[in-house]
Amino acid sequence: MSKYTFPAGFLWGGAIAANQTEGAYREDGKGLTTVDLIPAGPQRWPVMGGKLDAFEPQLGLMYPSHEAIGFYHRYKEDIALFAEMGFKALRVSVSWTRIFPNGNDTEPNEPGLEFYDHLFDELLKYGIQPVVTIAHFDVPVHLVQTYGSWRSRKLVGLFERYAITLFTRYKDKVKYWMTFNEINMLLHLPFVGAGLVFSEGEDKRQIQYQAAHHQLVASALAVKACHELIPDAQIGCMLAAGSTYPYVCNPEDVWDAMNKDRESFFFIDVQSRGAYPGYAKRFFKDNGITVEMEQGDEELLKHNTVDYIGFSYYASRTASTDPEVLGRMTSGNVFGSVDNPYLQKSAWGWTIDPLGFRITANQLYDRYQKPLFVVENGLGAADEPGPGGEVADDYRIDYLQRHIAAMGEAIEDGVEIIGYTSWGPIDLVSASTGEMKKRYGYIYVDKDNAGNGTLQRSRKKSFHWYKQVIASNGGNL
Ligand code: BGP
């Protein structure tokens, strides 16, 4: 029996994204999107960082996301399983190129709109609230080719039109929205976050911050439109969160850790407080970055701030200014964190830090004083079914149990949290590796890294555990 009390109506559930689950990447008129061009394997990281050779999938490379887990055709079966676990919410994303295959088409693609109509109807049938991310790591490839993606102001209006199309169509079905998934990822994986491709010798930071401004303006326009078109909806931002600790108490490390956090907070400071913070202006000045704004941008940002702070939390980060410590950086983390000797790590080198979750939640609430929504959290592991066919994922239960307890503590600390949608309630394609091997699900999907398997779904041990967590509103961890 846990000692935590979660608010009535707390939104327990899970979170998935179109490109990591749907597959059907060219069906029913869908256009190519940036994520369709990111292969698994050694080319993945260079492409995610903005080195792209061709604007179409390449022969001989693997793109597991093209089929993914076939959610596009199996969503009814999957939603029935989520309903069996008692989900109150499912976070999904809409694939931009199902709606506007080229991003700048004159009319939206009706079959794409219908797919999400059916998806939302199916969720609502079970009383599951759809929580919709408008852009989860995808930009229409046509817009990358034609305008250089978010480096161009042109994307602002096209995104606004896309968002308005969604609000108008789904206003009676969707009451929770989010603009850009992990908006700060634009700085770390620019092709993933903003479809940015760089040529040799370009000033990347200048381009990234200009693109960031365009996304921030686009986000504010979407907030404005959402408030006008669906007055009873809530629309939030989404941050890849995780506090940064100083490696030692040397003030140099403390200052470095603070600035690393500010790199991320910058986006939310604009989206939630409505203005560019002083530290960002100083950073631009010191680094010769000029962010071009149009007249009216500042007013727009000021008056169209988000209703809640959505965030993902997987791990905390650690910063050091000591060259010797920096030499021991952990591999495979996009934030350039150094090893924290107090913490264990997952098989993929992500720190496991439940107290860090409580710290992060407190920090975000102290800073923004707005409701928080935990829209991703979970443990990626290489699950193997046992002899009886069931995955006994006690390690996942342990991770989630400790993190949900930390969230309970944060709520006791006075932090307002409206929901918790753990990442990948059904196994899906990993964003960082592009593979199936790194699994997060309560539901196992029979598909291996080479793409073999029946795609059959089966319940893991954690399925039964999460079901009773939800049934007891977190009382039974
Ligand atoms: C976040 C993304 C998700 C998701 C998750 C887990 O950054 O919003 O799309 O994939 O991380 O990451 P990974 O799949 O690399 O384990």
- Give the dihedral sign, CA 321/327/329/335: positive
Active site residues: 376
Q: How far is the CA of 376 from the centre of ligand 1 (A)?
A: 8
- Report residue 176: phi and psi, to 5°: -125, 125
Q: How far is the CA of 377 from the centre of ligand 1 (A)?
A: 9
- Residue ranges covered by each domain of the chain: 11-471
Helix/strand/coil for 342? coil
Q: Is 240 in the pocket of ligand 1 (CB under 6 A)?
A: yes
Nearby residues of 329 by Cβ (< 8 Å), 6 or more positions away: 336, 337, 338, 339
Rounded to an integer, what distance in angstroms lies between the CA atom of residue 454 and that of residue 77? 14
Query: Could you give the ipTM of this predicted complex?
Result: 0.98
**Nearest C-alpha neighbor of 312 from the set 431, 162, 447:** 431
Ligand 1 atom with minimal separation from the 185 CA: 7
Q: How far is the CA of 432 from the centre of ligand 1 (A)?
A: 6
Which residue has the least CA distance to atom 9 on ligand 1?
431
**Tens-place pLDDT, residues 162-176:** 999 999 999 999 999
Mean pLDDT score across all residues of the chain: 97
Ligand 1 atom with minimal separation from the 433 CA: 15
**Tens-place pLDDT, residues 308-365:** 999 999 999 999 999 999 987 765 578 889 999 999 999 999 999 999 999 999 999 9
Q: In this structure, how many other beta carbons lie within 10 angstroms of the beta carbon of residue 178?
A: 26
Which residue has the least CA distance to atom 16 on ligand 1?
430
**Tens-place pLDDT, residues 1-17:** 578 989 999 999 999 99
Which residue has the least CA distance to atom 4 on ligand 1?
431
**Tens-place pLDDT, residues 398-430:** 999 999 999 999 999 999 999 999 999 999 999
Q: Which CATH class is domain 11-471?
A: alpha beta
Instruction: Give Cα separations from 366 to 111, 171, 255, 274, 308 (angstroms).
Output: 44, 32, 19, 16, 13
Give pLDDT < 70 ranges for the chain. Answer: 1, 330-332
pTM exceeds 0.80 for this model: yes
Ligand 1 atom with minimal separation from the 17 CA: 9
